Amino acid sequence: MLKALVAGLIFGAILQAARIDNFDKVAKFTALRDLTVLRFLLVAVGVGLMVLMPLIVFGFASFHIKPLLLVGIVVGGILFGIGMAILGYCPGTAIIALGNGSLDALIGLIGGLTAGALFTLAYPYLKDFLGPLLDKPHIYLSTPWANIVLALVVGSVLVALAWALREPRQQGDKTGKTS
Amino acid sequence: MERKRVLHWFIGGAALGILNALVFTHFWADRPIGASTAYPYVAAKLLGITNEYAQKIAKAGLWEVWFLLGGLIGAFLVAVINKDFKPRLVYPFWEETKGGESLKAGPLRLCRRLSPHMGREDGGGLHQRAYPLGRYATGGFQYHLRAGRYSDGCYFRALVLP
């Protein structure tokens, strides 16, 4: 578990250093008033893709594709989005935010544990309704180098999109001032 | 007021992408970064749930608990180094859109009502009879603690008598 701890240390340090782990940033993103979080994530996914695919092709890493439980993913995604928009954190950033003193994340932590307990207890009765279980979706070409090129292209597009995004025009706040 | 960012979003995003890719490798964790499974895992442990789902998520949940613990420590260290650590309950955007004063004032009002108030007890300050809770003497003064529902919302009064 030391490896998990070290990974988390670096993860928390990055998010805190980039100021991504606070309510204002995430809530403003869901309100489309600040796209920093979206740009951050686009770069993370794009760069991660460009680094990970060669590692997989050369045998240093493996895919971990989750099964596609259609109803579970759709319903879970909706609930996740609602919760994230209200709380201003995702399950990971809530804990990270506690590290900088965000006590409001504690409320989300309690809610998350409660929901986790309820789902765990209800899982035997719910699992038949989370499907249908579709095949693991993936885009993997037959030629290894083609996969690396595809990853570089898609990753570059995501990074370029992050750069191209413009911050939305700020609306006047309640005092009538515009930022 | 938003503080100056230390790490540009592009650098931070790239760093996170590289970290995730490295964690994926067989040399590190051979799995992606994640946090959500920690919640049902911890909840199941706290409540002693051992059903099918709890057993299914045991390994992933344990990993993610350690991961989040590391994240908490890492964020705390960076916040302290950057002098950005500040206990807070309400953020400016919440105050702007929802009004945070009631959230902050609620617990404070409750504490104020429950804590003993020192001083003289006004004759017109009571709505109900005040009940004596005790009398203490120290430092040449006597403190008479009383409980009641006072007009200013307080529940306790401590009379200080020489």
> pLDDT per residue over A98-107, tens digit each?
988 888 888 8
pLDDT at A154 over 70: yes
Q: What is the average pLDDT across B57-69?
A: 94
Locate A172 and state its tokens: 């006047």
Is B21–A51 a contact, with Cβ atoms under 8 angstroms apart? yes
* pLDDT band at residue B159 under the 50/70/90 scheme: low
Q: Determine the pLDDT at residue B153.
A: 58
- Using a CB-CB distance cutoff of 8 angstroms, which residues of chain B are in contact with residue A19? 2-3, 5-7
Q: Is A42 on the interface with B (CB under 8 A)?
A: yes
What's the number of CA atoms in the CB half-sphere (13 Å) around residue A160?
6
- pLDDT for A169 equals 58
The DSSP call for residue A129 is G
Of residues B31, B39, B73, nearest to A116 (C-beta): B39
Rounded CA-CA distance A122/A61 in Å is 35
pLDDT tens string A89-122: 889 999 999 988 888 888 889 999 999 999 999 9
A131 touches chain B (CB under 8 A): no
Asked whether the predicted pLDDT for residue B5 surpasses 80, the reply is: no
Proportion of chain A above pLDDT 90, given as a percent: 40
Q: How far is CA B43 from CA A10, A60, A84, B55, B77, in A?
A: 26, 34, 20, 13, 27
Per-position b or e across B100-139, b if 16+ CB within 10 A of its CB: beeeeeeeeeeeeeeebeeeeeeeeeeeeebeeeeeeeee
Contact residues, chain B, for A11 at CB < 8 Å = 16, 19, 33, 67, 70-71, 74
Amino acid at B135: R
**Cα separation of A173 and B142, whole Å?**
54
Please check the confidence at residue B59 and state whether its pLDDT lies above 70.
yes
pLDDT of res. A177: 38
Q: Give the tens place of pLDDT for each residue, B70-104.
A: 999 999 999 998 888 888 777 777 777 766 554 55
Cα dihedral value A86, A88, A92, A93, nearest 10: -170
Distance between B3 CA and the closest CA of chain A, angstroms: 9
Q: What is the pLDDT of residue B16?
A: 95
Query: Is pLDDT of A70 > 60?
Result: yes
Calculate how close chain A gets to B35, using CA atoms only, in Å. 5
Cβ B94–A27 below 8 Å, yes or no?
Answer: yes
The DSSP secondary-structure symbol of A101 reads T
> What ipTM score was computed for the predicted complex, to two decimals?
0.84
CB A106 within 8 A of CB A98: yes
Give the span between the Cα atoms of B111 and B81, in whole angstroms: 33
Signed CA dihedral, A144, A148, A149, A150: sign only: positive
Per-residue pLDDT, averaged over B131-138, amounts to 65
Contact: B29, A4; criterion CB under 8 Å: yes
Compute the distance between CA of residue A41 and CA of residue A52 in angstroms, rounded to an integer.
16
CB-based contact, A144 to chain B, within 8 Å: no
